[in-house]
Structure 1
Amino acid sequence: MGSIVWNLENCVNTILDIIVIKTGIVISEDYLIEILNHDFPNSYFENYSIRKNNAVRIRSEKFDEICWSVRKRLGELEKNSPLFIQNIDKILVWEEQGICYSSLCRKILQMMSDIYNPNNPQFIDPKPIIDQLVSENEYPIEVIVEAFKDILHNQTMSNTIKPVEEILWDGGISLSDLFEKEHIPLKEDEFIDQKFINYLQANPEKLQYMHWRNFERLTAEYFNRQDFEIELGPGSNDGGIDIRVYNTTNKEKPYIIIQCKRHKESHEVKIETVKAFYADLLFEDAEKGLIATTSKIATGGKKAISIRKYPLNYAENKEITDWVNKMSKR
């Protein structure tokens, strides 16, 4: 592979363009440089403000590595895996059976190329291609599916911005929204954007810094995905109850009431908060109460729950991180 020689500032701007479109998350140049200096210490990006007008030579494979690393840090990629074939052992078994996997992949790519209209770029529906390949009865269905998985993986890993990606790009969401203000997702059935969940899964230390209202939304989304009916409070003047969770079979009273405490990890939820929340639970006649926090419950609060047998549970930083891991998807 060859090298690219260019102005460092142009290089950074190109990386930023790729990252924003591929991840759907809009970040600042300063944050990009912070990530690059963390992941690639003592590299071209050190003292960027001073060196940005300098010329740099970057090999194309190194440029890909840089882009993959940032995309992973933003939560879009789960791992850096540039190999086209993901399960080489399975492919070798098929090759021994006389199935030419590479020929199938080339055939699929040609079929996709025949469908693609450069004058009207659109994502290609794989179903008609799969149906045709199955009807031809030349390759087993599991081989066809594996080939599509590898092709999709290759396209996902590509750092080339395709015309269809530019046309269909929705402008992305600003990462700063996660920390600075309430962000309402475009999808009505979601409480928080999936891109933010993926980002938090890749950066769990950022949970304690997210906007308190978005933490409430994250908590609501966790229970929403368990098929409960969710009532997210107004965010202020809510009487200490941020979320009401209802069983679909009984909507007369809450099954769980939740109070969310987005604190820094060093800031414990005090016993007074626990006692006050128990009073809220009695007033609501809910079956259970839950305090969800990015920090932890003070020892006195935990003892009060245990000794007085309050029907209260708590989810501390580790449990919240587990929630995020369960909700992440790519």
Structure 2
Amino acid sequence: MTMGGMLFAPEVLADSLAETAGYKAGLALSLAELCKHLPEDCELIQASEQGFVRIRSEKYDEIFYRLLHRIGNTAEQYDGDSTGIGLYHRYKDEHLVEYQGVLEIFIKVMPEAMRAAQQESTKLLDPRPFVLACKEKYGRVGFEIAMGKIQAMIKSQNLSPHSGHRYVDWVAPRKLAELFSGGSDTPEVGRFIDQRYIDYLSSNEVALSEMHWRKFEELTAEYFHRDGYRVELGPGSNDDGVDVRVWRPGNDDNPHIIVQCKRQKAKVEKVIVKGLHSDIEFEGADFGLIVTSSELSPGARSVVTARGYPIEEVNRSGLRQWLDQLRTPGTGIVRI
């Protein structure tokens, strides 16, 4: 650290960004992946590999928050507002008195909460005395401002590259490359696919067509599992064309849905539709589902309609909705 900025020795800037993002988001990034997700900063990162670089501390934070967003750790890029200044602009016109009053209560009450946390040897602060005091004095508006202040603190602590707090205590970073090359490690968060990959895809939808086919099947199985169904993920090879089987809760008879996953850029042709229909009849399923990063071809859709096949489609648009549902709660901008 230098006066007015941060000085990085050769190779240290990239290591700092990758290691800190790995700690916060649980994804291990290579130098090439850093540049891929930070193209506007790539020249700086590459220069730092060869020699010393100096940047302002606020510039470093900006780069780091941009990286967290682009690898899916935050649904929107964090602006670094640790004091809740955004609350001031939200309430200054109609509720300036309440806003100033909440700050006064904060200065009075929160030091006691910090002392209590220290006595109990915990990093967790109890915000209830502060929030309840604001609600008692200023009603609903006071409650909203107090909650906004607390949420700004929490977001800052969990996202700041200079704090040891994070939203999820990952055991170890998972390589981002595994999303595209496969891998069979048991997910830390999730039943079939690790939550880190879901969050990444939610911010990088274009990667759906590039992900490993097995991970694509795992994403499909994860969606139905979290929706309350009993799910069986096929072996991945020699599965007779059925990638995922789905049963209604409490029903062990024939599958409710059999799923064919097609992670590809080309449109799904009618031969796939005909094969899935044969599997539906053979297994006695209620209907079949084609999950694809592309979409059905016009010919495939015509076959489904003309022959009345009980087949539905989840294409890229549907996958986008799945990712919105599956991404980690609380990683977006908090709105009261």
Pick the TM interval, shorter chain. Answer: 0.7 to 0.9
- CA RMSD in angstroms comes to 2.8
Matched, 1:71 2:68: yes
**Correspondence for 1:87:** 87
Distance 1:192 1:111, change over 3 A: farther
**Correspondence for 1:302:** 301
> Are the counterparts in 2 of residues 91 and 101 from structure 1 also a CA contact under 8 Å?
no
Cα distance in 1 for residues equivalent to 2:231 and 2:288: 14
The 5 A counterparts of 1:126-165 are 126=126, 129-130=127-128, 134=132, 141-162=143-164
TM-score for both structures, normalised by structure 1: 0.85
Distance 1:302 1:108, change over 3 A: farther
The 5 A counterparts of 1:275-314 are 275-314=274-313
Cα deviation digits, residues 90-131 of structure 1 (max 9, x gap): 5435542476222344456524532445996x54163xx415
> Are the counterparts in 1 of residues 109 and 129 from structure 2 also a CA contact under 8 Å?
no
In structure 2, give the amino acid aligned to 1:233.
G
Q: CA deviation at 1:64?
A: 0.7
**Correspondence for 2:268:** 269
Cα distance in 2 for residues equivalent to 1:98 and 1:58: 35
In structure 2, give the amino acid aligned to 1:225.
R
Distance 1:26 1:2, change over 3 A: same
Structure 1 runs not aligned, ≥5 long: none
Structure 2 runs not aligned, ≥5 long: 332-336
In structure 1, give the amino acid aligned to 2:287.
K
Where 1:5 maps in the other structure, the secondary structure is strand
**Correspondence for 1:16:** 18
In structure 1, give the amino acid aligned to 2:36.
E
Identity %: 28
Cα distance in 2 for residues equivalent to 1:6 and 1:96: 45
The 5 A counterparts of 1:21-100 are 21-36=23-38, 38-40=39-41, 43-45=43-45, 48=46, 52-77=49-74, 78-83=76-81, 84-85=83-84, 86-88=86-88, 91-92=91-92, 93-97=94-98, 100=101
Cα distance in 2 for residues equivalent to 1:96 and 1:308: 68
**Correspondence for 2:4:** 2
> Are the counterparts in 2 of residues 201 and 325 from structure 1 also a CA contact under 8 Å?
yes
Q: CA deviation at 1:152?
A: 1.0
In structure 1, give the amino acid aligned to 2:35.
I
Where 1:17 maps in the other structure, the secondary structure is helix
Q: CA deviation at 1:192?
A: 1.6
| More deviation, 25-34/102-111 | 102-111
Q: CA deviation at 1:139?
A: 6.6
Cα distance in 2 for residues equivalent to 1:283 and 1:155: 55
**Correspondence for 1:200:** 201
Where 1:100 maps in the other structure, the secondary structure is helix
Cα distance in 2 for residues equivalent to 1:139 and 1:17: 44
**Correspondence for 1:326:** 325
| More deviation, 108-117/230-239 | 108-117
> Are the counterparts in 2 of residues 94 and 100 from structure 1 also a CA contact under 8 Å?
no
In structure 2, give the amino acid aligned to 1:240.
G
Cα distance in 2 for residues equivalent to 1:292 and 1:300: 17
Where 1:87 maps in the other structure, the secondary structure is helix
Q: CA deviation at 1:319?
A: 1.9
Q: CA deviation at 1:156?
A: 2.8
**Correspondence for 2:124:** 124
Matched, 1:235 2:236: yes
Cα deviation digits, residues 56-104 of structure 1 (max 9, x gap): 2211111111101111111112222222324335543554247622234
> Are the counterparts in 1 of residues 9 and 48 from structure 2 also a CA contact under 8 Å?
no
Distance 1:150 1:285, change over 3 A: same
Distance 1:232 1:169, change over 3 A: closer
Q: CA deviation at 1:13?
A: 1.6
Distance 1:87 1:227, change over 3 A: farther
Cα distance in 2 for residues equivalent to 1:60 and 1:160: 11
